[in-house]
Structure 1
Amino acid sequence: MELLLETVALFCLKLAYETEDSSPILRDDLMMSDYEREVFGLLVRRGDVEAIQRKVAECASLALNTVGGVDTVLGRELHRLAADFSASYSMDQLDTRLIALRDYLKDIQ
């Protein structure tokens, strides 16, 4: 799950900050320091669903602003998927909803 969380964060940050004329954002970039696999790994091992949700919500908020907010087609779907993720109450639910969020972010890149 740690890799999946890191991937969602990476896709959000890429969407928010990466431009055509700049170098791509990579997993080892400084802006990913709060969203590294090890950071998520610690939260997963603790079973800290709320902290995981907060971290993902931070990234999803950046991506949502980039696509124009909830008033756009992309934004409405991203908001719905992020809200579903935030409504999870167990690690098992996080996993399923995180996959849907990752797949959507990958598609809109």
Structure 2
Amino acid sequence: MELLLETVALFCLKLAYETEDSSPILRDDPIMSDYEREVFGLLVRRGDVEGIQRRLDECLRLALNAIGGVDTVLGRELRRLTADLSTARNMEQLDAPLIALKGYLKDIQ
């Protein structure tokens, strides 16, 4: 699950900060320091669903702003997928929304 969380965060940050004329954002970039696999791993081991949701919410807000907000087609879909993530109450309920978010963010890169 840690890899999936890190990937979702990476795709969000790529949307928010990566430009066509710059080098790509990678997992080991300093911007990823709060969203590394080890950070998520600690939250997963603790079963801290709310902590995971807060971390991802930060990234997802950046991605939402990067695609024009909730008034765009892409933004509305991202908001819908984000809502599914925020309703999770345990670790198992995070899986499906995370997989959907990962796929969507990858597609809109």
In structure 2, stretches of 5+ residues that fail to align are none
Question: How high is the TM-score relative to the length of structure 1?
Answer: 0.99
The 1-side partners of 2:69 and 2:83 are apart by 14
Q: Deviations over 1:27-59 (max 9, x none)?
A: 000000000000000000000000000001000
For residues 47 and 96 of structure 2, the distance between their equivalents in structure 1, rounded to whole angstroms, comes to 16
Give the letter for the 2:46 counterpart. R
Point out 4+ residue stretches in structure 1 off by more than 6 angstroms. Answer: none
Size of the aligned set, in residue pairs, is 109
2:24 corresponding residue in structure 1: 24
Deviation at 1:83, TM superposition (A): 1.1
Unaligned runs of 5+ in 1: none
Provide the C-alpha distance between the structure 1 equivalents of 2:8 and 2:29, rounded to a whole number of angstroms. 15
Indicate the residue corresponding to 2:51 in structure 1: 51
**Identity of aligned pairs, percent?**
80
